[in-house]
Structure 1
């Protein structure tokens, strides 16, 4: 059984009925943090590596070797192409490499190709086309192969008006379709029902084709960050009953989209411009565990006291906003990032409405660095509320 693709923090166990915890002094880090929990997506915090043309949408790709999935996504600079041809007697298009180690993989990436090579071998299951100049995708280009599982066509010139509606319909085995960093203006329709990952980050997408997701009940990961979406309705996402991770960061939303799939556990909304968060902004997200809201221009007066009242939340990122006070959070929250705001005071009631043997915050990591707040401003009773805190940055 394959390993699901989740952010690193998704491995954190979530206690349902934690026992009483003894008081334990947390590690306090003053000033610039050096040993921090990394963000789930590159580029969120200063010092993280810049997003490159090989980031595949910013979410790691986990390989299932038991299924024969290739552990190398590009052969560029690894070995002389002549070696591949000499060691593999099987047919291979002139513009591609066919390593004998992965006989069902076809590496045609970074060749300045303007079209998908002709005569693709029927054995092809993993097709790598990233880093070319391909502008169209037609049914005929892939007609010779019917067992395709991965199609990676990142960093090309792909355009919506040159993407045939039925180009992928016969690819019933297709599980991953990556088309990040192209020139698509809408989410394509006619995608195969077995698709598990759809990565369309950093395109020019401003709309979703009617019924584009209607048959994608198996989709677990959808990346749409870095596009031009302004709205997303219930009809737009109809059919996404198994979606786990949704990234719509860096779009043009002015409010949290309503009627998103309730199955979502990881929701990334950073780099949008939200006027505020009301009580029902995340209504219906009964499974939501990881929420990213950094760089959204949020202000304290625009956040309803019950906006984050979701006991399922494990991690919340509110960094790089304009908060002057700490909002209220559920006691079940374990990881909170509030760095680079304008917070001037620390209120224990933001984390604990009351303190007792079983009434305390389960917070483990708290970042407050980059605010107008010092360690000496913390009230003396904060350790009774945050009694299981492991690290605080201030």
Structure 2
């Protein structure tokens, strides 16, 4: 090979080596650029702010400021615990209290019952019938009755009345009926009008009857003192002496140990159930002219305290002696129609001894046959059958319980 050939070959080899170096350099530049770009991006990412973790506030030893104490709500006291009064719409009567109702059909009636009333309103002058039951009234004063002189009937039942001012009755001198049962009275009201015909004071706390409380009350026909706290000392001998027209006296469910004295002779009904009476004076009933009903159930009567003929009076129609301690049947008059002797200690009955008349007299005169219609003997120590002499004597018996 000539010199020109070797030069050409040498140049070609150098050209190849230069191309290779050029390509290598380009690849290095590219690799270097990529590496620089990667490092630059990493630097950028490392410079982005990271979210800070929430830091907890260090606990403080300072206590919270004390709150002012809330006062306890006191228990409601009367009368704040009462429901509010019930007010109705305006009435056609301009004098009608809003707490009450005034019906055009009954212009003389004032209806104030069941209205949650605590104080009696001013009573219109046209009022004859006053209904105040089932309220929360605690006191009856004269101010409410300044114009009510024509009131005839007052119903104050089922309130909380502990006092009735005696001046009230001076404002209503024509009062006929006073119903004040189921209240908190501790004594019979004073100053009651002479016109009064019925006085109902049952279910109170009465343990005192003031002297002269019933004086000049000659028109009173009914006196109801049932379920109070009256004892023998509270019923003086003359306490009832002016009640000449009295027909019914109810002293049941008190604490009496003796039969009340001085009862008017015209009395028709005497109720003494549920007391502690253990003795009846021998002639106790002899002065009564119309006594027809006597109730002495639930007392402490025994044969010793019941004289044999004490109930042998012609006017007596109904005699109740249940739940006592009797061992024998007391004698009674042929006019008696109802006899209650249940729940005593009776062991036997003898018709011959009980019969008001001899069997021979009954055979010859039917007009004297005893009128007993109802006889109750259950709760004793008796066993059927009924003795024949009882049937022969008491021929009008419709019912006998043994």
Write the distance in 2 (CA, Å) between the matches of 1:122 and 1:339: 53
Q: What is the correspondence of 1:76-225 to structure 2 with a 5 Å cutoff?
A: 88-89=92-93, 91-118=95-122, 120-159=123-162, 162-225=163-226
Which structure's residues are more often helix, by fraction? Answer: 2
Write the distance in 1 (CA, Å) between the matches of 2:263 and 2:188: 16
Structure label with greater radius of gyration? 2
Write the distance in 2 (CA, Å) between the matches of 1:324 and 1:373: 11
Highest relative contact order (Cα 8 Å, sep 6+), 1 or 2? 1
Write the distance in 1 (CA, Å) between the matches of 2:93 and 2:133: 25
Question: Please, what TM-score do these two structures have when normalized by structure 1?
Answer: 0.74
The one of 379, 382, 385 equivalent to 2:393 is 385
Shift of 1:189: 1.8
RMSD between aligned residues? 1.9
Shift of 1:134: 1.1
Q: Which moved more, 1:279-288 or 1:167-176?
A: 279-288
Shift of 1:101: 2.3
Partner secondary structure for residue 294 of structure 2? strand
The one of 366, 382, 388 equivalent to 1:373 is 382
Which residue number corresponds to residue 352 of structure 1? 356
Which residue number corresponds to residue 49 of structure 2? none
Given that 1:352 and 1:361 are in contact with CA atoms closer than 8 Å, whether structure 2 keeps it comes out as yes
Question: Please, what TM-score do these two structures have when normalized by structure 2?
Answer: 0.73
Partner secondary structure for residue 170 of structure 2? coil
Write the distance in 1 (CA, Å) between the matches of 2:294 and 2:279: 15
Shift of 1:89: 5.0
The runs of 5 or more residues in structure 1 that have no matched partner are 1-79
Given that 2:87 and 2:100 are in contact with CA atoms closer than 8 Å, whether structure 1 keeps it comes out as no
1:361 aligns with 2:362: no
1:218-277 CA distance string (max 9 Å, x none): 110000011111122232113100000000001111010111111111000000111222
Write the distance in 2 (CA, Å) between the matches of 1:390 and 1:324: 24
1:113-137 CA distance string (max 9 Å, x none): 211013x221111111111121111
Count of residue pairs the alignment pairs up: 309
1:315 aligns with 2:333: no
Given that 1:233 and 1:260 are in contact with CA atoms closer than 8 Å, whether structure 2 keeps it comes out as no
Given that 1:81 and 1:97 are in contact with CA atoms closer than 8 Å, whether structure 2 keeps it comes out as no
Which residue number corresponds to residue 307 of structure 2? 304
